[in-house]
Amino acid sequence: MKTSDFYYDLPHELIAQTPLKERQKSRMLVLDKETGNIKHEIFENIIDYIDSGDTIVLNDTKVLPARLFGHRENKEEAIEVLLLRQKEGDVWQTLVKPGKKLQIGTTIIFDENLLSASVIDILEDGQRVIEFKYNGIFNEILDRLGTMPLPPYITEKLEDKDRYQTVYSKNLGSAAAPTARIAFYK
């Protein structure tokens, strides 16, 4: 099997850019595994496709505004940092752009008064481990300066960060876009 087996043309106008106000009205594609027939449904009818004994797994993590934009200390070029995983305290594993400019010891300024970080390690896959320095409460600063990590096919600016959370999210920690669970958004 090749990844190209999964390529298909999806017209841009069919890609939802924002969650519906009435989440239960989200579209749902149903595949009959026995016949191969495909049916278009709405999410509020999902119960019609769940049998006794089926298991539904819910990820209850809230998506962090985990994308930060800054610049190297004493430089003006743009640096993008995506928080992946908190290692310990103020140390995070991250993806950065452009990576080559961020060597160990490099300082990144996100806000002159609130938030900066230093690269403390470079992992084999190019990810950077950074340590934050800040004035205040980190999660409040992240909420103020960070943006949601939207996938590249979402091109509209998200105005309300809470609309990006699922109705059952409660624990901070996800840096992934929850597009597969769009019907569960608040």
CATH of the domain at 73: 2.40.10.240
Q: Rounded mean pLDDT of 125-149?
A: 93
Going by pLDDT thresholds of 50, 70 and 90, the confidence category of residue 186 is very low
Q: Report which of residues 161 and 177 the model is more confident about.
A: 161
Examine the domain organization and report whether 138 and 160 are in the same domain: no
Q: What is the distance between the alpha carbons of residues 154 and 12, in angstroms, rounded to a whole number? A: 10
Examine the domain organization and report whether 43 and 93 are in the same domain: no
The residue type of 73 is: E
Out of 10-24, 59-73, 140-154, which region has the weakest mean confidence (pLDDT)?
Answer: 10-24
- Which value, in Å, is the radius of gyration of the alpha carbons in the chain? 20
Examine the domain organization and report whether 1 and 24 are in the same domain: yes
Examine the domain organization and report whether 118 and 169 are in the same domain: no
Q: What is the pLDDT of residues 68-109, one digit of tens each?
A: 999 998 888 899 999 999 999 999 999 999 988 899 999 999
Structural domain that includes position 88: 67-145
Examine the domain organization and report whether 117 and 100 are in the same domain: yes
Residue 33's alpha-carbon distances to 36, 37, 38, 39, 49, in angstroms, are: 5, 8, 9, 12, 12
Coil, helix or strand for 28?
A: strand
Examine the domain organization and report whether 59 and 71 are in the same domain: no
Average pLDDT, the chain: 85
Q: Rounded mean pLDDT of 174-181?
A: 58
Q: Is 43 left (phi over 0), alpha (psi -120 to 50) or beta?
A: alpha
- The answer to whether 84 touches 93, Cβ cutoff 8 Å, is yes
| Per-residue pLDDT at 53 | 93
| Per-residue pLDDT at 184 | 45
Domain count of the fold of the chain:
2
Examine the domain organization and report whether 141 and 86 are in the same domain: yes
Q: What is the distance between the alpha carbons of residues 179 and 66, in angstroms, rounded to a whole number? A: 16
The residue type of 48 is: D
Q: What is the distance between the alpha carbons of residues 8 and 5, in angstroms, rounded to a whole number? A: 8
| Per-residue pLDDT at 176 | 64
pTM given for the model: 0.73
